[in-house]
Amino acid sequence: MTSSPQAMSPALLQFQPLACTIDVTFWQELARQKLDVMKLATPEVPVWGSLLPSSTEGVQGRVRLDAASFDASAAERTEGSVYRGFVLNLNTIEDFKACFEARAKQTMCHRSKKKKKKK
């Protein structure tokens, strides 16, 4: 009894980008921190999101952000997968443009380094 080559080859592992659900309490806490804590400063604020698994087959789970996302100790108590990121809340359109341009240049430099390595 022989198996076909297709039956013996392993299935390819494929990744999908994660979808995100942002609760209104996340925006309320961000506004509170901006007004009461950060004020005119623009630090990168660490946030943690938790994965909400889907109960429907074939539908991916979502990363949830809420008011607790700003609390590192709450992330430690979360069961399941926790994702860490940051929020950068800028004050002016000029700050946004400067940040966007700097990050775009950084991304282009990173991509060009990858291309050079492949050659």
Q: What is the pLDDT of residues 43-73, one digit of tens each?
A: 999 999 988 887 777 777 889 999 999 998 8
Residue 40 in 3-state DSSP? coil
State both tokens at 21.
């659900």
Provide mean pLDDT across the span 92-105: 87
Q: What is the pTM for the complete model shown?
A: 0.68
DSSP H helices, the chain, are 5-8, 24-33, 72-77, 93-118
Q: What is the model's pLDDT at position 4?
A: 55
Confidence of residue 13 (pLDDT cuts 50, 70, 90): confident
Mean model confidence pLDDT for the chain: 81
